[in-house]
Structure 1
Amino acid sequence: MPRFLHTADWQIGRQYDRFGPEDGPALAQARLTTVERIAALATELAVDAVLVAGDVFDAQTISDRTVRRLFMALQGFGGPWVMLPGNHDAALAESIWSRARRLNAIPDNVHVLLTAEPLLLAEQGLAILPAPLTQRQTFSDLTDWFDHAPTPLHLLRIGLAHGSVQGILAEDIDSPNPIDPQRAAHARLDYLALGDWHGCRQIDDRTWYSGTPEQDRFKSNGAGQVLDVQIDAPGAAPQVKPVAMGEFTWLQWQRRLQVASDLDALIEELEQIERSSVISLTLEGELDLAGEQRLQAALGRAEARHRVLECQLDGMRLLPTEADIAALQVDGYLDEVVGQLRDMQQADEPEVAREALAILAGLLRERQAGGAAV
């Protein structure tokens, strides 16, 4: 029973500059360590091969050091790795693949499929039909030749391609390179392993996108997995099992805080996230000073626990209650300032007023505790 892992869109070398010098490099490194976990899984499951359906690298200009590091990350699995050029690492006349060969970085058990011709892995029971991209975008279906390609009858016919299944995926996906939705049937494929869609998605019984094994976008589309595929014999139905693989989960939340129980629920949600994550949190609503203090404490804990916490508070208003103001013991000029800041939150710069009010409240608390004078 041939068994293989289907993965794609590793995009090694991708940069995350938006997250700054501390978190960006850690996210880039996670893509390499995830490859190491794929190699370990392949060995643990004793699969016959690992198929990578394009975009191994994020760009043609990746450094030599990163190229070498990628191929070193494969060492945990000694069986065949089958790699397809995608739109980010297309097989140009001069490409990252030709540079990798000059560096002598590609191990003997790695098959880089740069041309449209079958790769026969007889010992593993697989005949791989690849559709490598030789430029970033094409307007014809590079899988057409699968229909008429002869392969030994006793080997599984496995297609390997990178692009967009027509009429099913959104038109604005990363690579518009077209793929016939009936390709598996027309070409008598036992399985069609696809890349480019960064989420895990089944097209039909024999056609799957594995998605990227390390999530890189705020989308709930099954990213962060590889596919464990078993097929009993030519013509048999594939048995496909998604396996979680990624290091970081990306979460995008929008929450409205109106009453104390809303804040309680948000804090509980943040505390219950078990894995280190990349979190984008947008809040709107209103809080009193006590609620603001609790929120900031919860965000501080979450920021320490997770890889990234982005928090948008533009839609939040800080509304001190009469009890809040009384507790701050403000009078005279400071009382007027607090009132002006409360009013400003209804005007043109609510975020500035909110931050100023929170800072002032903090300073007043420090004064009460014996800190600096206001």
Structure 2
Amino acid sequence: MPFRFIHTSDLHLGRRFANIPEPADNGVRGRLMDARHTVIRRLAQAARTHGARHVLLAGDTFDSATPSPQVLRQMLAEMREQADVHWWLLPGNHDNLRSAEPVWEAIRRDAPSNVRPILDTSVLQPAPGVHVLPCPVPVRAAGRDLTASMPATATPAGALRIGLAHGGVLDFTDSGEHIPPDRDRSAGLDYLALGDWHGRLAVTPRTHYPGTPEPDRFKHPGRGRCLAVSIDGPGAEPDVREIETATFAWIRQELPLHQGESAADALEALLPTADRRNTLLRIIATGWASPAAHAALGATCDRHRPEFAYFDLQSERLGTLHSVSDLDQIARSGAIRLAAEALMHEADDDQQPEDTRDIASAALNRLYAYAREAAE
């Protein structure tokens, strides 16, 4: 009979999202924090749908080593309610064994019977004939590959071998912490459940990162998900299926603009049409646009911004095409006209430093927008 389980990681419960601006009456940070808790129930439902009784959480259950009592107790209460699912919690780098020792001790002491903190490297047996080789993170920067002991870890002949670890398969700092991408082969693993990378990544058919079940940044495209894994027996290739679990979508879109193009229409065509309240959107405007197009782009963003959980327009890479006709729409004479001409001259002067030209161009665009607002 196949062994089925849910592979997830990087819940980061308690994350505060201080990097997300929060306008008055928006409450987006609180909603984002609550969604990370709500995903526990979604993971349990994914397990039931998949016919699984176990959830393997490959590190970073908490965003820090010191989650609040509310975050900790509410997590345990929610997992207790999902009593038909067994939760296996591996310490990661954010909630490593040393820094979060009081937290893991509290979980060991107070957790319901269906929640198991993994506090050492002892082989676990979630089901008959199934052995899990865990690698809890001892300190935030261990400086070594924590899966190195897996090849020598003995399990009974004919048993499923599942590795559970937290860390990267690439080492960009020469720290020695990276996990070899062929660890599944060298350790004779039927499956290696990894955490740490917040995006979905299949390293090999047997080695996977599920990504966080509730996204927390624009870096990784798509909605959060978990992996429903089924293994028919020792040596069989795992069947791995993605199940969406997230409340929020984080979307980063490029908006390339060209001379003469309607910036407002181009943006309208790019905006998602569904579930805007649960969408965090970042638009990266590039190319060239007139001051009028800059103003229209900003006005369109302002009109739609309240519909989204978060809406960010980044226009630093959008250049400005200046013309005398633009100045005429600001003012035909007087001090304001003289100021506009001076800004246009500075923005178009190749002898000026780039940051000076950028500042002058942005000021001219702002002046144009103010003039148009006053005229309406």
TM-score (norm 1): 0.83
Matches within 5 A, 1:199-278: 199-220=199-220, 224-261=224-261, 263=263, 264-272=265-273, 276-278=278-280
2:8 corresponds in structure 1 to 7
1:282 corresponds in structure 2 to 284
Matched position secondary structure for 2:269: helix
Q: Give me the whole-angstrom Cα distance separating, in 1, the residues matched to 2:183 and 2:3.
A: 21
Structure 1: gaps of 5 or more residues: 370-374
2:90 corresponds in structure 1 to 84
Matches within 5 A, 1:105-184: 106-122=111-127, 126-153=130-157, 155-165=159-169, 169-172=170-173, 177-184=177-184
> 1:133/1:289 Cα in 2 relative to 1: closer, same or farther (>3 Å)?
closer
How many corresponding residue pairs?
362
Stretch moving more, 322-331 or 182-191 = 322-331
Q: Give me the whole-angstrom Cα distance separating, in 2, the residues matched to 1:363 and 1:196.
A: 47
How far does residue 153 in structure 1 lie from its aligned partner after superposition? 4.7
Q: Give me the whole-angstrom Cα distance separating, in 2, the residues matched to 1:180 and 1:290.
A: 54
Matched position secondary structure for 2:78: helix
Report Cα offsets for 1:303-356 as digits up to 9, x if no partner.
Answer: 223222232333445556555555566334433333223224335545554454
Structure 2: gaps of 5 or more residues: none
Identity %: 34
How far does residue 288 in structure 1 lie from its aligned partner after superposition? 2.9
Stretch moving more, 179-188 or 1-10 = 179-188
> 1:359/1:159 Cα in 2 relative to 1: closer, same or farther (>3 Å)?
closer
Matched position secondary structure for 1:212: coil
How far does residue 230 in structure 1 lie from its aligned partner after superposition? 0.8
Q: Give me the whole-angstrom Cα distance separating, in 2, the residues matched to 1:122 and 1:314.
A: 55
Q: Give me the whole-angstrom Cα distance separating, in 2, the residues matched to 1:315 and 1:148.
A: 53
> 1:172/1:251 Cα in 2 relative to 1: closer, same or farther (>3 Å)?
farther
> 1:172/1:20 Cα in 2 relative to 1: closer, same or farther (>3 Å)?
farther
Q: CA RMSD in A?
A: 3.1
Report Cα offsets for 1:121-154 as digits up to 9, x if no partner.
Answer: 236x532221112222324443344334443456
How far does residue 35 in structure 1 lie from its aligned partner after superposition? 2.6
Q: Give me the whole-angstrom Cα distance separating, in 1, the residues matched to 2:30 and 2:146.
A: 35
1:16 corresponds in structure 2 to 17
How far does residue 159 in structure 1 lie from its aligned partner after superposition? 1.3
Matched position secondary structure for 1:260: coil
How far does residue 49 in structure 1 lie from its aligned partner after superposition? 0.8
